[in-house]
Amino acid sequence: MNEFTSDQGKPLEVVLVTAASLAFPIALYKINPDEYIALWMECTHKGCEVNAQPNYLVCPCHGSEYDAKGNVVEGPAETNLKTFNITTDHEYIYAIYKNLNPLLLLILMGIGASVMAQRVNNDTTAIQMNMDAVYNRPFLQAGSFPVALGGYIEAHAQYFVTDGITEGVSFKIPRITLFISSTIKERIKFLSEIEFEEGTKEINIEFAALDFELHPVLNLRGGIIMNPIGAFNQNHDGPKWEFVDRPIMATTIIPATFSNVGFGLHGKTHQKQWVWAYEAYVTNGFNAQIIANSVGRTWLPAAKENVDRFEENFNAVPLITLKTAIRHRKIGEIGLSWMGDVYNK
């Protein structure tokens, strides 16, 4: 077989193998002309399916990374990926793993094998960035059912003492958040985020949009969009916080979980260890509450108080939000965002 050779004669670094009887795919790496490694693509942390790249594997759920031999490179996973014993007769490649059903023997490459092999190209979706927080959330899905559900509850227990006087312990649930996601077609996705605040005093649809994946560098998004201003607005979920509450910057300088109706483009591209990403959206604009509010000054968070922003634009100029970021897999990410509009009605 010549599955590891492209039309240009260049060796492929990884091939993805799937079969109807397998719960997870197998990543088959060619280390050298006579050495192969097959890895079971189930993350050892929480059981998510990992993404295979030419030189590493990464879990899209919690960010665990493995090298091409299945060794843990970065947590939270602590255990290496399961591997198969590989043999080859230079025509077929065989993988044997004794702990699966109860003996699994796969002809990974060979004529007539009931297995599909797929070349894996460099894919920016395997490298998570701040903008990917929209979909990087906990979901539960039943088998091949096309709809997944997720969410979280934020609960507080408080004990305050003022001048030696206390009212004791009090409890509250500031928010309950529900996620609904669906892959309608291979390149069409839908996600919604519904938040119930202070019981049911406020019910907000913070995100409800369709994504049309045209190309890794060019994707269309439309609906109720979470404006990508700062690092926190899109990455605001309670379980991800480093502290017990949202940072002051995200509540007093810019609106927390600020979203609007509109459409735009987003995409990523990468070169070796570096990834560059961008987002650009046009949405309904501000109204006079930016300058006429209870604070008595120009205050951007007042824009969220305009509940009619999902129905109409309040000035002749749309709100434009831009964001660009660059990330190194081992160093981190830095980005720049910009949002511009006028205040008048």
Whether 199 and 336 share a structural domain? yes
For residue range 311-333, what is the model confidence (pLDDT) as tens digits? 777 777 888 999 999 988 778 88
- Do 116 and 152 share a structural domain? no
Query: What integer pLDDT is reported at residue 3 of this predicted model?
Result: 39
Question: What is the model's pLDDT at position 112?
Answer: 32
Q: How many CA atoms lie within 13 A of 91 on its CB side?
A: 3
**Token pair 């509940």: residue:** 307
pLDDT at 282: 94
Pair (221, 262) in one structural domain: yes
- Residue 243 pLDDT greater than 50, yes or no: yes
Domain around 114: 14-121
Q: Per residue in 52-108, pLDDT tens?
A: 887 788 888 777 889 888 899 888 888 999 887 777 665 566 666 544 443 344 444
Task: With respect to residue 336, please indicate whether it lies within any of the assigned structural domains.
Answer: yes
| Residues 156 and 25 occupy one common structural domain | no
Residues 6+ apart with CB under 8 A from 25: 16, 17, 18, 41, 49, 52
* Rounded CA separation 147/144 (Å): 9
- Regarding whether 321 and 219 lie in a shared domain, the answer is yes
Query: What token pair was written down for 176?
Result: 């309950």
- Domain identity same for 65 and 146: no
Q: What is the pLDDT of residue 8?
A: 38
Does residue 79 share a domain with residue 19?
yes
- Taking a C-beta distance cutoff of 8 angstroms, is the pair 226, 261 a contact? no
Q: Is residue 6 part of a domain?
A: no
| pLDDT classification of 240: cutoffs 50, 70, 90 | low
Least confident of 63-72, 136-145, 147-156, 235-244: 235-244
Please indicate, yes or no, if residue 7 is contained in any of the structural domains.
no
The residue from 100, 121, 142 where one domain ends is: 121
Do 232 and 191 share a structural domain? yes
Q: Which of 11, 59, 65 is CA-nearest to residue 35?
A: 11
pLDDT tens digits, 212-232 = 988 888 999 999 998 998 888
Do 241 and 256 touch, CB atoms closer than 8 A? Answer: no
Is 5 domain-assigned?
no
- Residue with the bigger pLDDT between 3 and 56: it is 56
CB atoms within 10 A of CB 204: 17
Instruction: Tell me the DSSP string of 154-213.
Output: EEEEEEEEETTEEEEEEEEEEEEEEEEEEEEETTEEEEEEEEEETTTTEEEEEEEEEEEE
Q: How many domains does the chain have?
A: 2
- Does one domain contain both 165 and 283? yes
Closest to 14 in 3D by CA, of 41, 47, 49:
41
Q: Are 192 and 318 in a shared domain?
A: yes
Tokens in use for 263? 């459409």
Please indicate, yes or no, whether residues 93 and 150 belong to a single structural domain of this protein.
Answer: no
Q: Please report, for the domain that includes residue 18, its CATH number.
A: 2.102.10.10
Q: Are residues 137 and 71 in the same domain?
A: no
3-state SS track over 50-106: CEECCCEEECCCCCCEEECCCCEEECCCCCCCCEEEEEECCCCEEEEECCCCCCEEE
Query: Would 75 be classed as within a structural domain?
Result: yes
